[in-house]
Amino acid sequence: MGKLDGLVVLVTGASSGMGRATALLFAAEGADVALVARRAAALEEVAAEARHHGRRVLVHAVDLADGPATRAAVDTTAERLGRLDVVINAAGTNIPRRALSVLDPADWHDMVESNLSACFHTTQAALPHMRQQGGGLLVYLSSAAVQRPDRSGVAYQATKHGQVGLAHGTMEEERENGIRTTVIFPGLTNTPLLEKRPVPTPPEIVAKALLPEDVAQACLFVASLPARVRVPELAIVPSGI
């Protein structure tokens, strides 16, 4: 038996990186999973691997900045899989031209939509289902840059701070409905997001970075705890950097 037998989990950003690793680990631990991201072909590859564990897997190729489309994906997941126990908000991006001196207002808007509005849409869509069943868990993958500012860019840091406010505000409104939230703060992680840095990260630093599977294990730890337990925040950083 897996740690998540019988649970239904929706994972955003499931086509790559932390989202992909989390979706596959959760399927291996017995959860039925819904995969959400924009790239349909990449999602189908993840779905095929997840189905090897004998779990039900749904694929939703949607832009999470599109509120109605996101709501439809969440509603379809709950209807077809019978419930919705956990949402992992793993979708996110960054841009190479990230310093204030070069940041374009259009890029700022896109960052807010991709990193923050996407979480808002999934949260608002998931809550009615979780209220109806008497509980649920919302996990937000923020960034260690929230706790220790760096050069990841003001748009990235502002949106990752926003996820923290969304998570904690939701908890205060929904605790009486049995709904819990957790914010995870990953440090440097070897994901495709590193390719969007304005200057390539030195290989010797990348070699010390977290792997997506490390962050997935942190998500599993939080999701496998009993409903009486809540982890408000959890930092996970490379030990050698």
pLDDT tens digits, one per residue of 127-167:
999 999 999 999 999 999 999 989 999 999 999 999 999 99
Give the pLDDT score at 241: 87
Has residue 113 been placed in a domain? yes
139's enclosing H/E stretch is strand 136-141
For position 1, what pLDDT does the model report? 77
Q: Hey, what are 47's tokens?
A: 């779905």
Could you confirm whether 156 is annotated as catalytic? yes
Residue 63 falls inside a structural domain: yes
Strand order in the sheet with 233-236: 57-61, 32-37, 8-12, 86-89, 136-141, 179-186, 233-236
CA-nearest of 152, 125, 121 to 136 is: 125
Evaluate whether residue 184 is within a structural domain: yes
State the catalytic residue, choosing from 50, 156, 182, 219.
156
Residue 1 belongs to a domain:
no
Q: What is the CATH number of the domain that holds 141?
A: 3.40.50.720
Residue 146: partners with Cβ closer than 8 Å, 6 or more residues away: 157, 160, 161, 164, 185
91-124: pLDDT as tens digits: 999 999 999 999 999 999 999 999 999 999 999 9
Q: Which domain holds residue 32?
A: 8-236
pLDDT digits (tens, 9 = 90+) for 13-40: 999 999 999 999 999 999 999 999 999 9
Cβ neighbours for 128, distance < 8 A, ≥ 6 positions apart: none
- Could you read off the pLDDT of 174-193 as tens digits, one per residue? 999 999 999 999 999 999 99
Residue 16, in any domain of the structure: yes
Alpha carbon separation from 85 to 98, 109, 115, 119, 186 (Å, rounded): 36, 31, 22, 16, 23
Q: Is the pLDDT of residue 80 over 80?
A: yes
The answer, yes or no, to whether residue 49 has pLDDT greater than 80, is yes
Sign of CA dihedral 20, 26, 29, 34: negative
**pLDDT-wise least confident of 12-16, 87-91, 136-140, 199-203:** 199-203
How many domains does the structure of the chain reveal?
Answer: 1
Average pLDDT in the chain: 97
* pLDDT, position 15: 97
Q: What is the reported pLDDT for 146? A: 94
Q: Is residue 133 part of a domain?
A: yes
196 within some domain: yes
53 phi and psi angles, rounded to 5 deg? -90, 5
Give domain status of residue 130, yes or no: yes
